[in-house]
Amino acid sequence: MICYLAKAMKDGNLIFIDEIDAKFHPHLLEYMLTLYQDSQYNKNGSQLVFTMNNSHIIENQKIFRRDQLIIVNKNEFGESSVNRIHTTENPIRNDQSRVKEYLEGRKGGISKKLKIL
């Protein structure tokens, strides 16, 4: 898969990957995401859209800015809504834990029944 991602970066393609954290070692995933953010390596503006369940990655400010994180919520009818984790109306400070906000259900993405106390 890393070869496809390297080619996508070279060609400036848009890539979608479901559960990217299931396919890569955590260190390799962090390295690859860092390369995607670096314009020296991603010269053609390739974009990577992915889902993951690894809350550790979202805490790493070297990989993601807080405005790049999006939570998808599903209601009781199966309808999905997309919400940014950081907005002007509902901001996250730079020194605030993104993982804590997420795991406590303040930003969505976690059922009220599954909230960690």
What does DSSP say about strands 47-50 and 14-17: parallel, antiparallel, or unpaired? parallel
Question: Is 58 a member of any domain?
Answer: no
Tell me if 41 is assigned to some domain. yes
Contacts for 59 with CB less than 8 Å, ≥ 6 apart = 97, 98, 99
Q: In this predicted model, what pLDDT tens digit does every residue of 76-112 receive, in sequence order?
A: 888 888 878 777 877 777 777 767 766 676 666 665 5
Same domain for 70 and 49, yes or no, is no
Answer yes or no: is 111 within a domain.
yes
Q: 44 is in which domain, residue-wise?
A: 1-53
Q: What is the pLDDT of residues 4-52, one digit of tens each?
A: 888 999 999 999 999 988 878 888 888 888 888 888 888 999 998 888 8
